[in-house]
Amino acid sequence: MATESIGWWGVPLAIAAGTIRGSAPFLFVSLGECLTEKSGKINLGLEGTLLMGAMSAYAISYLSSSNGIPTWLAPWLGVFTAGVAGMLLGTIHGWLSQQPKVNDVAVGIAMIIFGSGIAFFFGKAFIQPVAPQLPAFELGNWSDIPSIKAALKISPLFLIGVAIAPIMQWFFKSTRWGLYIRAVGDSPEAAKAMGISVYKVRMFSIIAGSFLAGIGGAYLSLYYPGSWSERISSGQGLMAVALVIFARWNPVQCLYAALLFGGAQAIGPALQSVGVNSYYYLFNASPYIFTLAIMIITCSPKRTLSGSPGALGTEN
Amino acid sequence: MIFTEKWRTTLEKICIPIAALAVSLVIFGVFCAAAGANPFAVYASIYKAAFGSWFSFQNTLIRAAPLMLASLCTALPARLGLVIIGNEGAIVIGGLSAVAAGLSVQGAGPFVVQLAMALAGIVSGGVWIAAVGALRHYRGVNETISSLLLNYIAIALLNHMVGGPMRDPTSLNKPSSYPIPDADMLGNIPGTRVHFGLIYGIIACLIAYFLIQRTTFGFAARTVGGNIRAAKIAGLPVGKLTLIICFLAGSCAGLAGMVEVAAVHGRANESLNASYGYSSILVAFIARQNPVAAVFVSIILGGILASGGILQRAHQLPDATVLVFQGIVFLVILFSESLYGRLAIFKEGVKPQMPGQNLKPQT
């Protein structure tokens, strides 16, 4: 009844709710990708990492809760495992993409296939069972309108992601390690002259970035949509690369970009909720169209983008 | 001397990929053993399902045909130095337009219908990937990302069309377009169950090889791929080359979509985006972007794809096993890229050895 009474106002509300629910995976993968790209390497394989994170989080949450671990703890164990699983995939990427003559974009494509393969292989057994989910802060209980309640239901994981963005910004700007990463990403030669191991710094950045992407996957399977299936990811891992370009390699802008993309993703379901069904699939493709449009507008063949790490996409 | 030098590098180009395949088989075996299956039984099953009999080899060839065509979508632009992975999108768009064209000229006789379908697939797939090339050249948009995004957009378009405007109301569980009449379907090569798509694939690969290796056009393209600045200074039309190569690449993948629709599925539905997209990227990389090698690699990979069912039935391994195997092969192949020129066997003995040059391969 309440939804009917607010009528078309339900659309912006549903989009707002969808933004808050759906932007966390974008946020985590884009922060991970941002950290990786700052060191001068691209990780296109975060889609595989995301799927791996989603699967392992769900599996561990289910297995640990059925083995006597309390249900408030089990999903958090899952989140942690997802991060560790991401780190394992990141180690492969970090090692392989730094071999001579090996193209990091190609390694990323291979990691998409490998990561999703492993996730689907081990995830087969967990499609049916129900795992304990992550809790949420219900900030909308003062309202009687279900869509407002839904809009103000916020996952703690999302808040952690929001907090990481400015911390990462500060890390790049004001810490020694942040400087190392930026030096390696902008000018590996200069970094070498400073006595920094380019290999180790990039390895660290890729592994840490993959940790974040794995957590983004855990959010998918343990909060929203909240179950494990092979179609759980809608390409957030792939869009991360475009999102970081849009955010100009700036973690805080990654946050804004993630919100924007999460919002674009919520348009289709929001319109469906008020009965607009005819262009459902096309509206669902809006994040991709949106990403492409943004890249067409912001890229230029004549100059490199401001904020772009100097060594990105070069052969070293 | 020159002869032996060339002989050695050719041998290197053949031996390293084969060794990489062997190593990935070993790693895959370890993986299977860890998952509780007997690796040797798994190898035997894959071999039997892929190449064991004429019957199963025909299945392999049916899968190899779209792989050959679609792999050119990655292999041709690679010569320009572009990493395009929009194969799946071009297959889907090609298949979708082929069905639309085939249905609109229905009743005009099988030849006309097939010609219309093929042209529609070629043109639409070509334009789809040419757009990626144009964005790259005129707007500096990263071609890998834009082609990936276009994959998703193509699949959404397919779902939209077969779920709405083109939907056959009788297809309930799996929304599909109206079917192509049986009489208009692409026929089989006489004496086999393999459709003519295989011939298209082989011809396309041979043409692509000739075009790239034996024509001035191909030489120009390779020059752009080698050093774009030098190519521009030499006055090569980089933009035009990019557009043409991308169009050709996409048209091959579009034709793969047409072949799938006209010979296998008979209608457009979500089966169109079944695994050939990513597998064909893998084909291109294993073949080191060489179209002739892609023919053979497609047959090998087609066999692996064909063995998915039997791994599930005989060894209780999930269907994703094939995906894991492909991932392992891809990673090992990429690692093997770093070995070219580093192995002592493939070098002239008289050359002075630089310290650290003859590193042993790590696996």
Q: Which of A203-207, A238-242, A303-307, B301-305 has the lowest mean pLDDT?
A: A303-307
Q: Which one of B148, B321, B334 has the shortest CB-CB distance to A106?
A: B334
Q: Which residue among A96, A285, A299 places its CB closest to the CB of B153? A: A285
Half-sphere exposure in the Cβ direction for A309 (13 Å, CA) = 30
Residue A312 lies in a domain: no
Residue A138: strand pairing partners:
A153
Helical ranges in B234-351 per DSSP H: 238-259, 276-286, 291-306, 308-315, 321-337
- Domain-embedded: residue A52: yes
A47 in Cβ contact with A233 (< 8 Å): yes
* CA–CA distance, B58 with B198 (Å, rounded to integer): 10
Q: Which residues contact A16 (CB under 8 A, 6 or more apart)?
A: A151, A263
Q: What is the largest CA-CA distance in chain A?
A: 68
* A113-117, A171-175, B183-187, range with the lowest pLDDT: B183-187
Residue with the bigger pLDDT between B236 and A301: it is B236
Burial A203-232 (b: 16+ CB within 10 A, else e): bbbbbbbbbbbbbbbbbbbbbbebbbbbeb
d(CA B220, CA B232): 11
In a domain, A314, yes or no: no
Mean pLDDT across the stretch A261-274?
84
Residue with tokens 């392999």: B60
Phi/psi region, residue B270 (left: phi>0; alpha: psi -120 to 50; beta: rest), is alpha
Minimal CA separation from B186 to chain A, in Å: 30
Residue A137 distance to chain B (closest CA, Å): 33
Chain B residues touching A280 at Cβ < 8 A: 160, 163
pLDDT band at A283 (very low <50, low <70, confident <90, very high): confident
What average pLDDT does this structure show over A12-34? 91
Q: Residue B177's beta-bridge partner residues?
A: B167
How large is the average pLDDT for residues A92-121? 94
Separation between Cα atoms, residue A90 and residue A68, nearest integer Å: 31
Chain A contact present for B326, CB below 8 A: yes
Residue of B nearest to A230 (CA): B320
List the CATH number of the domain containing A17.
Answer: 1.10.3470
Closest CA to A25 of A254, A291, A267: A254
Tens digit of each residue's pLDDT (9 = 90 or more) over A219-230: 999 998 889 998
The pLDDT, as a whole number, for residue A1 is 38
Q: Which two tokens stand for residue A57?
A: 């989080």
Question: Looking at the partner chain, which of B146, B156, B328 has a beta carbon nearest the beta carbon of A284?
Answer: B156
Q: With an 8 Å Cβ cutoff, is A299 touching chain B?
A: yes
Quote the CA–CA distance of B193 and B187 in Å, as a whole number. 9
CA dist A214 and A51 (Å) reads: 8
Structure token pair of residue A309: 């790490």
State the nearest Cα–Cα gap between A76 and chain B, in angstroms. 27
Domain around A23: 2-298
Give residue A144's pLDDT band: very low, low, confident or very high (50, 70, 90).
confident
Residues A94/A105, Cβ–Cβ less than 8 Å: no
Q: What is chain B's length?
A: 363
Q: Closest to B318 (Cβ–Cβ): which among A44, A124, A279? A: A124
Distance between start and end Cα atoms, chain A: 61
pLDDT score for B3: 60
Q: Write the DSSP assignment of chain A as a string of letters.
A: -HHHHHGGGHHHHHHHHHHHHHHHHHHHHHHHHHHHHHTT---TTHHHHHHHHHHHHHHHHHHHHHTT--TTTHHHHHHHHHHHHHHHHHHHHHHHTTSTT--HHHHHHHHHHHHHHHHHHHHGGGSSS-PPPPP-EETTTT---HHHHHHTEE-HHHHHHHHHHHHHHHHHHHSHHHHHHHHHHH-HHHHHHTT--HHHHHHHHHHHHHHHHHHHHHHHHHTSS-S--TT---SHHHHHHHHHHHTTT-HHHHHHHHHHHHHHHHHHHHHHHTT--TTHHHHHTHHHHHHHHHHHHH--SSSPPTT--TTTTS--
Residue A115 scores a pLDDT above 60: yes
Residues of A in contact with B152 (CB under 8 A): 235, 285, 288
pLDDT at B2 (0 to 100): 57
Summarize pLDDT for A42-82 with one digit per residue, the tens.
Answer: 999 999 999 999 999 999 999 999 998 898 899 999 999 99
Between chains, do B326 and A113 touch, taking CB under 8 Å as contact? yes
Q: Are A86 and A217 in contact (CB under 8 A)?
A: yes
- Whether residue B90 contacts residue B125, with contact meaning beta carbons closer than 8 Å, is answered with yes
Q: A5: pLDDT confidence band, cut at 50, 70 and 90?
A: low
User: Where do the structural domains in chain B lie, given as residue ranges?
Assistant: 1-37+318-363, 60-316
Task: Tell me how long chain A is.
Answer: 316
Interchain contact B202–A (C-beta under 8 A):
no
In a domain, A193, yes or no: yes
- What's the whole-number average pLDDT of chain A? 89
Counted domains in chain A: 1
pLDDT over 60 at A12, yes or no: yes
Cα separation of B283 and B201, whole Å?
Answer: 13
Residues 171-200 of B with CB under 8 A from A: none
Percent of chain A with pLDDT over 90: 57
Interface pTM (ipTM) of the complex? 0.92
SS3 B167: strand
Q: Under CATH, what is the fold of the domain B60-316?
A: ABC transporter involved in vitamin B12 uptake, BtuC (1.10.3470)
Tokens of A27: 């946020």
In a domain, A313, yes or no: no
* Among the partner residues B160, B163, B330, nearest to A110 by beta-carbon distance: B330
Tell me the residues of chain B between 275 and 294 that have a Cβ less than 8 Å away from chain A: 278, 281-282, 285
B274: contact with A, CB 8 A cutoff: no
Segment A87-110 shows an average pLDDT of 94
Separation CA B79–CA B77 (nearest Å): 5
The rounded Cα A223 to chain-centroid distance in angstroms is 14
Judge: A111–B331 Cβ closer than 8 Å, yes or no. yes
Closest CA to B168 of B113, B99, B242: B99
> What is the pLDDT at residue A215?
97
Per-residue tens of pLDDT for chain B, all 363 residues: 456 777 888 888 888 989 999 999 999 999 999 998 899 999 999 999 999 999 999 999 999 999 999 999 999 999 999 999 999 999 999 999 999 999 999 888 899 999 999 999 999 999 999 999 999 999 989 899 899 899 999 999 999 999 888 888 888 788 899 999 888 888 899 989 999 999 999 999 999 999 999 999 999 999 999 888 899 999 999 999 999 999 999 999 999 999 999 999 888 988 888 778 889 999 999 999 999 999 999 999 999 998 888 888 888 899 899 999 999 999 999 999 899 888 877 766 555 445 554 455 544
- Measure A156 CA to nearest chain B CA, in Å: 30
Q: Which residue has the tokens 């805080």?
A: A252
The per-residue pLDDT for range A239-253, each reduced to its tens digit, is 888 889 889 899 999
Contacts of B282 in chain A (CB under 8 A): 110, 113
Residue B210 per-residue DSSP state: H
CB interface of A with B, residues 201-260, below 8 Å? 235, 238-239, 241-242, 245
| pLDDT at res. B363 | 47
Inter-chain residue contact A281 with B163, CB threshold 8 Å: yes
Helix B2-34 to helix B321-337 angle (10° resolution) is 150
Cα distances (angstroms) measured from residue A86 to each of A92, A157, A200, A206: 10, 17, 18, 10
DSSP string, B155-166: HHHHHHHHHTTT
Cβ contacts of A248 within 8 Å, gap of 6 or more: A305, A306, A307, A308
